[in-house]
């Protein structure tokens, strides 16, 4: 066999810029807004369901209330994590490199190629543009 084609994970990193920080913060603020809307919807639906349950069976109110509080707590925990992440983004230094995830790359290798170099391939972005490909 003279060559082989492999699919290998490629790490995508971004160079921190003011624009990147603003975009990340805006995305996270949008997530917080959506969580707040979900919390309002939970409250609205809970009032309706609890009013219906009160007519049928008072015993079930405790269970419903516990379920509602558990759902609200999940959303509040998620919101707090996002708010914490917003603080972390604000502290990022301009020029630092942060992970943005992974994509899959296809590489054709032949005898003598360095497999370890291919396995550690990274793409570095600056404001969405590729500025470096590192092997």
Domain-wise residue ranges, the chain: 1-16+93-135, 18-92
Decide if pLDDT at 65 tops 90.
no
First to last CA, the chain: 24
Task: Output the pLDDT for position 62.
Answer: 81
Indicate the pLDDT class of residue 50, thresholds 50, 70 and 90. Answer: confident
Q: How confident is the model at residue 122, as a pLDDT?
A: 94
pLDDT higher than threshold 80 for residue 47: yes
Over the chain, what is the mean pLDDT?
92
Report residue 1's pLDDT band, with 50, 70 and 90 as the boundaries: confident
Two tokens, residue 77 = 């925990």
Angle at the Cα of 63 from the Cα atoms of 57 and 66, rounded to 5 degrees: 140
Give the Cα separation of 47 and 50 in Å (integer).
Answer: 5
Instruction: Give 100-119 pLDDT, tens digit per residue.
Output: 999 999 999 999 888 888 88
Is 61 within 8 Å of 50 (Cβ atoms)? yes
For the chain, give the percent of residues with pLDDT over 90. 72
pLDDT band with cut points at 50, 70 and 90 for residue 51: confident
User: Contact, 18 vs 130, CB < 8 A?
Assistant: no
Residue 87 sits at φ, ψ, to 5 deg, of -65, -40
- The predicted pLDDT at position 49 comes to 85
Written as six digits, the tokens of 95 are: 């020029």
- Number of residues that make up the chain: 135
User: Of 77, 73, 85, which Cα lies nearest the Cα of 26?
Assistant: 85
Q: What's the whole-model pTM score?
A: 0.74
pLDDT tops 80 at residue 73: yes
Residue 58 has pLDDT above 80, yes or no: no
* Range list of β-strands (E), the chain: 4-15, 97-109, 122-126, 129-134
């Amino acid at each position: 066999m003279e060559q082989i084609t492999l699919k290998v994970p490629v790490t995508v990193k971004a160079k921190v810029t003011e624009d990147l920080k603003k975009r990340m913060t805006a995305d996270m603020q949008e997530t917080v807004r959506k969580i707040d809307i979900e919390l309002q919807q939970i409250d609205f639906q809970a009032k309706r369901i609890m009013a219906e349950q009160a007519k049928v069976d008072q015993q079930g109110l405790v269970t419903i209330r516990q379920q509602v509080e558990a759902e609200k707590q999940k959303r509040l925990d998620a919101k707090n994590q996002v708010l914490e992440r917003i603080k972390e983004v604000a502290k990022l230094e301009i020029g630092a490199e942060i992970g943005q995830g992974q994509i899959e790359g296809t590489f054709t290798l032949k005898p003598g190629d360095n497999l370890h170099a291919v396995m550690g391939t990274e793409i570095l972005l600056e404001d969405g543009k590729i500025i470096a490909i590192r092997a």
